[in-house]
Structure 1
């Protein structure tokens, strides 16, 4: 990854979960890193996420919905990792306008800023597997029909479309990654806005029962954050990725009951219970899902390296040590 040495790199959503882990890797690679984050409490930005590298990068508190600030920030950057977004599927249904503003309108403004101020920038956009909706077949590849089951999926699809359009029409060198259940140190654990694994870990550490919705037999795949960071870096430095959409995923597929059983073995007194789906969650549940990631494996030689047991143990240990910085949603 010598391509990042002394290069200027901008990360939107940089104080959040994936952005901060990406920043840590880039700082280690010798990049000049600037993080952009609005620090809106519900979205997961947290200075604790960069406590160990705070003096080795620049932080700009800014909202991606501010087109004038964004145009200034993208100037003279070599790379842009566009990770800022509203991630809660439930919030997108109760406040669809905000989801539209952040996940669609702001993405178009950001691309316009790149077109005007820095058309040579290399850009990677973080999208989501949620836009596929309920799968027709498994594993889900990039040719699967797109049928979002919530507003978030529709707006993330629009964000994808803008990036691909600007790549095709204006030669903005953009790539799209569809992430699936990314987890690890730094993820939001105060609630389930980023991933249900977050609130499961909090319940586990606090000594309350992990609540598994439905029958617990829903299948999922997971990526540890280090593997996700690998994919982002490969997409940013490989010409084959320009104008492409890639699924991330894992060959390690597990049902949620088995996942809970694995996790409670890692903390003394851990337990779980099967509970009915809340009506609002049941309405947008997609059932079984796991990805076919053979395209990114073929083109970029990416494959996940961290197994689920190892990644979970590392994540739980992190929050056992640092939970005071994460239990409060306003931090």
Structure 2
């Protein structure tokens, strides 16, 4: 049986990856210290927690980490703090979680490690480039703190892939949504905040005109990861992971339509949003499509309905 080590396994994306790989027949070793503000929550793994190995520690505190790394076939690094706005006011914490923790992992990986390594990078690393299309060769000039530290972590992987002769895939993912995403707090992401406002019967505020986002449903992302894990990987390989292009207003209106309450209003874009906005440039996944032979994307409305139902379940549980 093949083994997979998942770092950040109790978080939003990591928990979905852990469940998929377990259900696909892998021996899963899941690591997550469930750090403050990260969204890591052991209950995300409730359906499989007694069938996997779960290590409830910060990666820096796992003495046996080199031995674990040597025993697995795949390493998936999902460790992250995804609060773009909070990172501006707390950049040191963002540095710890979005750069330092990954460097610690890399220093524990031996030369010529047999495991395939996957790092979950970000579309935000590109910033707001002055180009028609973003592909993997587009220069990366992040517009916010999180993007800076995510790029730093990817750069560590790129350099150490050469120094240690290890095989790394970096997946530059856009806004992700779905089961186990954060549902409470002041910074739960674009889609999460829209759903929460609509469920509360509030007006969703859309800043500016015509702003677009590329968004990906978590089931589609983790399917890509599983497919890539079975491909031959050599050296450092960055891939853009594209989901669905949608204007922010269309996204808000679809959420209101599905939920049946709330409204959408337009407001001027605040200066803080304007300063870190990543623009409307088309996001290309041609390289990834060619590598894995085509991708499956869940219907937009269907994926939002499933995500909204997840929010409703969480809200109902909180009211009990």
TM score, norm. by length of structure 1: 0.89
Alignment of 1:71-82 (within 5 A): 71-82=66-77
Query: Is 2:86 the counterpart of 1:94?
Result: no
Quick check: 2:198–2:204 contact (8 Å CA) kept in 1?
Answer: yes
Q: Please say which of residues 26-35 and 301-310 is displaced more in the overlay.
A: 301-310
Partner of 1:36: 31
Partner of 1:184: 178
Query: Separation in 2 of the partners of 1:167 and 1:326?
Result: 45
Taking a change above 3 Å as real, the CA distance of residues 182 and 81 of structure 1, as seen in their structure-2 partners, is same
1:80 alignment partner, SS class: strand
1:222 equivalent in structure 2: 215
Q: Which residue of 2 aligns with 1:163?
A: 157
- 2:168 match: secondary structure: strand
| Structure 2, gaps ≥5 residues long | none
Q: CA deviation at 1:194?
A: 5.2
Decide whether aligned partners of structure 1 residues 88 and 121 sit closer, same or farther in structure 2, where only a CA change above 3 A counts: same
1:219 touches 1:290 (CA, 8 Å); kept in 2? no
Question: How far does residue 51 in structure 1 lie from its aligned partner after superposition?
Answer: 2.3
> 1:10 and 2:31 equivalent?
no
- Indicate whether 1:310 and 2:286 are aligned: no
Question: Corresponding residue for 1:301?
Answer: 293
The residue that corresponds to 2:263 in the other structure is 271
* 1:128 partnered with 2:122: yes
Over 3 Å counting, the alpha-carbon distance change for 1:307 and 1:150 in structure 2 is same
> TM-score, normalised on structure 2?
0.92
- Decide whether the 8 Å contact of 1:223 with 1:304 is kept in 2: no
RMSD over equivalenced CA pairs, Å: 2.1
8 Å Cα contact 1:240-1:300 kept in structure 2: no
Distance 1:194 1:127, change over 3 A: farther
User: In the aligned structure 2, how far is the partner of 1:156 from the partner of 1:147?
Assistant: 11
1:60 pairs with one of 38, 55, 58:
55
**Residues 324 and 119 (structure 1 numbering): CA distance in 2 closer, same or farther, change over 3 Å?**
farther
Q: How many residue pairs end up in the alignment? A: 319
Q: CA deviation at 1:31?
A: 0.9
Name the CA distance, whole Å, in 2 between partners of 1:170 and 1:268: 54
Unaligned regions of 5+ residues in structure 1, if any? 1-5
